[in-house]
Amino acid sequence: MAIPYEQDPQMQQYFSTLPPMIQESILQSGIPFQTEEELRQAVENLMDNKNS
C-alpha cells in the first residue's frame, strides 16, 4: 500500500526537505496523512517535542 504523501508530488516535495530523523519518525508513525497540512502539523508537533 502506498503512503499517501508518496502519491502527492507537493507532499513528497515537502517530505523530502525534512531532516532524516523527522522523516524516519513520520514513517515509523504509520499515520496515513491525507493532506499536506496534516503532515505539516505532525512535523511541527515532532519538532516541538524534540526541542522540549
pLDDT tens digits along 1-52: 456 567 889 999 999 999 999 999 999 998 888 899 999 999 999 989 877 6
Q: Is residue 7 part of a domain?
A: yes
Q: Is residue 12 part of a domain?
A: yes
CA 49 to chain centre: 15
pLDDT of residue 12: 92
3-state secondary structure of 19: coil
pLDDT of residue 5: 67
The HSE-up count of residue 44 (CA atoms within 13 Å, CB side) is 6
How many independent structural domains does the chain possess? 1
Q: Is residue 41 part of a domain?
A: yes
Q: Radius of gyration over alpha carbons of the chain, in Å?
A: 10
pTM above 0.75, yes or no: yes
Q: Is residue 50 part of a domain?
A: yes
Q: Is residue 23 part of a domain?
A: no
pLDDT of residue 1: 44
Q: 8: domain range?
A: 1-16+35-52
Q: Is residue 40 part of a domain?
A: yes
